[in-house]
Amino acid sequence: MPALVIVAHGSHLNPGSHDPTFTHADTVRAAGAFDEVREAFWKEEPSFREVLRTIESEEVYVVPLFVSEGYFTEEVIPRELRLEDWDVSLWDSDGTDADTATLTAADVDKTIHYCGPVGTHPAMSDVIVQRAESVTQNPDVGEGFGLAVVGHGTNRNENSAKAIEYHADRVREMDRFDEVNALFMDEEPEVDDVTDYFESEDVVVVPLFVADGYHTQEDIPEDMGLTDDYREGYETPTEVEGHHIWYAGAVGTEPLMADVLLERAADAGADVDEALDIVRKRTATPAAGD
Amino acid sequence: MNDSQLAALREAAADGVTRDGLSATQDDSGYTFVTPEVSHDGLSEEEFDALATENPWFVSNWHYWRGASETNEAFLRWVEHASELGVRERYETLVNGLTREWGELLVTTTLGTDGERSYELRHTADATTAVAELDSYHDPREAREVSTLDEDGRYRPLKTAPTLREGWRFADLDGRDLVRTVEFFYPATVANWYREQAGELDVSHFRETAERQTGIYSVIDDLDVDSVENLAEACCVDSQCLKRREWDEDEETPLDAPRGDGEFPCREPCSLVVAAARQFAVLEGEETRTYEVELTPSERSQLTDLVDAVADGRVDEIREADVGDGANRYRARYLRAKRLADGEFESLREKN
């Protein structure tokens, strides 16, 4: 039976950074599609360098728990996993449609299916919607609501913005919310001006981040004017300039993320149909009143 | 030994069985059954069964080790001192438990029914603590929670730092779960230890690690060998990390910093060392200058007390009223009140 390795950033400073990784790994474990499921981190242990040698299976699916394609998924992870003959062209991606590449690693005798990151998988759009359902506690949220998908945005990596726009476009095409916009922390259109970009009175704001931390818990709430000092907290929703802002926090904490991990492995050939059913049932938004 | 173990041995004898002094084979002339104490050949099935029944430990011991992965088997056999103790001695000792230390983990192996092993894991400092006083866990994944924060609730970014909190035990683990639990506490240590045992540890020295870096970490290649020496002494000795450092500047240039006495090897600078190295590389980009500052002899030695206290992680141990200690808070505050203004020594002058 193959193994699944979830590779994530982790943190030297924030103990909560690895929580979503552990939670989603446990959901996948419980679904039983893999004999082994292991978490590995850039900043924690096991490191990308050493995780493959801890695995018994000879076939390993590696899924990056990262939001966009770029420096980490294209350069750091393949290098640190020692994937032989890796070249980003194997993904044949324009920045949002990486799929999978089957390779060997230099330090272990295994077949490695190196998958694109969860963040650019089409199923991620569903997680964003489910995040909106979770924060509003309304499984039918949409009508009368605007939705903002928020990314870091950075001039260093154009793919970072592409992933945000990709999902904003997809959610818009669902025709479920009155308005959908992509906003950024470091570039225009900026999340600071969220109320300028929406006519809807109610706006759900979903940051496309893997884990809650400095950006999602301190920066964005203060930038949007939910609070002057994040330590004092804020209501959900908070009234800002005549709008109700429903701030969702990092999308990566949504239980349905486990589904995207499995989808990535499925796209790479893993037999996970049953596990997908189990995970979807377990991570569904409870119906209203539950 | 139970009947299914015996049946399995009979079946396996056709391909030949050897394990810890037991040897069993079967061919046209019948079965053979050999232990360090008995040796018989040309046996009928009934005679073979009778001998096995007289030597049940050898049979159940063989049965236990079937099917384990190479790495797990090597580790679990090390855990029960299999290379030092024969089956008979081992079984006699396992009744009361055989122990091994792995970093701050204490592994105890005991014998279950029909030769099955049962493993317990706790902090080495809890060796004699009553079970009732320890929080009991059974799921290996819970080790992730136990190992995230230290005794004072501070985050432990380095899993092998000697700061594991006490007061817990993982009980009744089977072999696979023991290894999984150990690997959640100290990731990849079993795999790397096994490679080392097999003479196949793939060490990546500092220089090649530095050359591999990109982005904000590529600067660490600027550190010279003396700085790498300081880096290893700062971050990698036993007081900071329980792995035994096997990497050096490069293959030909060993570092003098103590490697440590740990059971498991460190095969390359870890992410924490790389992150620290980046900071040191940036700081080492500055040239030294000569300063003049007015201090009494006691104040000068107080500065070294302060550096030592921080470097040795002793700050929290210094008692509130122990004003005899140069790193005491009142002493430090007095020095600041007397000598510093706006975070700088008032008398400081840079000499040309």
A192 forms beta bridges with none
- For A12, the closest chain B residue by CA position comes to B157
B21: left (phi over 0), alpha (psi -120 to 50) or beta: left
Task: State the number of CA atoms in the 13 A half-sphere of A276 facing the CB.
Answer: 13
Note whether A203 and A245 are within 8 A (CB).
Answer: yes
Task: Name the residue in chain A with its Cα closest to that of B191.
Answer: A54
Q: Kindly state whether residue A290 falls inside one of the protein's structural domains.
A: no
Write down the pLDDT at residue B187.
98
CB contacts, 8 Å: B204 with chain A: 49
Please tell me the distance from the alpha carbon of residue B64 to that of residue B83, in angstroms, as a whole number: 16
Burial of A53 (0-12, 13-18, 19+ CB in 10 A): buried
Q: Which residue of A has its CA nearest to B161?
A: A45
For residue A240, give the nearest of A176, A148, A164, A143 by alpha carbon. Answer: A148
Domain contains A52: yes
CA distance B160 to chain A (A): 9
Question: Token match 């550190």: residue?
Answer: B223
pLDDT attached to residue A156:
63
Residues A97 and A18 in one domain: yes
Q: Do B195 and A11 touch (CB under 8 A)?
A: no
Q: Which residues does chain A have with pLDDT short of 50? A: 288-290
Question: Are A145 and A240 part of one and the same domain?
Answer: yes
- The 3-state secondary structure of B55-99, one letter per residue: CHHHHHHHHHCCCCCHHHHHHHHHHCCCCCCCHHHHHHHHCCCEE
Distance CA A251, CA A216 (A): 10
Closest CA of chain A from B265, distance in Å: 13
pLDDT along chain B (352 residues), means of 10: 94 94 95 95 95 94 92 97 95 95 98 94 98 97 97 97 98 96 98 97 98 96 98 98 98 98 97 98 96 97 97 95 97 97 95 84
pLDDT for res B20: 95
Same domain, A143 and A237: yes
Q: How far apart are CA B107 and CA B72, in angstroms?
A: 14
What residues of chain A lie within 8 A of the CB of B192, using their CB?
50, 53
DSSP A107-128: TSS-EEEEEPPGGGSTHHHHHH
Residue A36 contacts B where some CB pair is shorter than 8 Å:
no
Amino acid at B331: R
The SS3 assignment for B278 reads helix
Q: Does B180 touch chain A (CB under 8 A)?
A: no
Interface test with B, best of A7, A53, A71 (most B CBs within 10 A): A53
End-to-end CA distance of chain B: 84
Judge whether A279 lies within some domain.
yes
**E strand or H helix at A145, and its extent?**
strand A145-151
The distance of B191 to chain A (nearest Cα, Å) reads: 6
A75 interfaces chain B, CB cutoff of 8 Å: yes
Same domain, A97 and A146: no
Token pair in block for residue B282: 């940036």
Probe site for chain A from B72, B144, B209 (most A CB atoms < 10 A): B144
- Do A193 and A93 share a structural domain? no
Between chains, do B159 and A11 touch, taking CB under 8 Å as contact? no
Tell which of A19, A36, A42, A45 to mutate to test the B interface (max B CBs under 10 Å).
A45
Determine which of B176, B271, B272, B273 to mutate to test the interface with A (most A C-beta atoms within 10 Å): B271
Angstrom distance (rounded) from CA A58 to CA A108? 9
CATH number of the domain where residue A60 is located: 3.40.50.1400
Cβ atoms within 10 Å of B152's Cβ, excluding its own: 8
Task: Determine, for residues B268 and A49 on separate chains, whether the beta-carbon distance falls below 8 Å.
Answer: yes
Please indicate, yes or no, whether residues A137 and A107 belong to a single structural domain of this protein.
no
Separation between Cα atoms, residue A32 and residue B2, nearest integer Å: 31
Judging contacts by C-beta atoms under 8 Å, the chain A residues touching residue B190 are 54
Asked if B48 and B69 count as a contact pair (C-beta separation under 8 A), the reply is no
The CATH number of domain B206-283, selected from 3.20.20.70, 3.30.70.2320, 3.40.640.10, 1.10.1740.10 = 3.30.70.2320
Query: Please, where are the H alpha helices in chain A?
Result: 19-31, 48-51, 77-80, 123-136, 158-173, 220-223, 257-267, 273-283
Our CA-based measurement puts residue A284 at a distance from the nearest CA of chain B, in whole angstroms, of: 24
Rounded CA separation B153/B149 (Å):
5
Location of each CATH 3.30.70.2320 domain in chain B: 206-283
Q: Do A73 and A180 have their domain in common?
A: no
Residue A136 maps to a domain: yes
Task: Kindly state whether residues A188 and A111 are assigned to the same domain.
Answer: no
Same domain membership, residue A249 and residue A130: yes
Nearest-CA distance B144 → chain A (Å): 9
Q: How far B54 CA sits from the closest chain A CA (Å)?
A: 37
β-bridge pairing A179-184 and A145-151 = parallel
For the stretch A7-17, pLDDT in tens is 999 999 999 99
Q: Quick one: pLDDT at residue A153?
A: 79
Calculate the CA dihedral of residues A12, A15, A18, A23 and round it to 10 degrees: 170
Instruction: Give which of B223, B266, B220, B268 is closest to B241, Cα–Cα.
Output: B266
Q: Is A58 on the interface with B (CB under 8 A)?
A: no
My answer on whether A116 and A146 are in the same domain is no
Residues A101 and A30 occupy one common structural domain: yes
Whether the bond between A237 and the residue before it is cis, its omega within 30 degrees of 0, is: yes
Q: Which domain holds residue A35?
A: 3-120+254-283
Between chains, do B188 and A51 touch, taking CB under 8 Å as contact? yes
ipTM field = 0.93
Q: What's the topology of domain B70-197? A: Gyrase A; domain 2 (3.30.1360)
CA B118 to CA B176: how far, in whole Å? Answer: 11
* Residue B151 main-chain phi, psi, to 5 deg: -55, -35
Question: Is B202 near chain A, with CB under 8 Å?
Answer: yes
Q: Mark yes or no for CB contact B187/A26 under 8 Å.
A: no
Query: Could you give the number of structural domains in chain A?
Result: 2
On whether any CB of chain A is under 8 Å from the CB of B149, the answer is yes
| B188/A47 Cβ within 8 A | yes
Same domain, A271 and A166: no
Say if A62 falls within a structural domain: yes
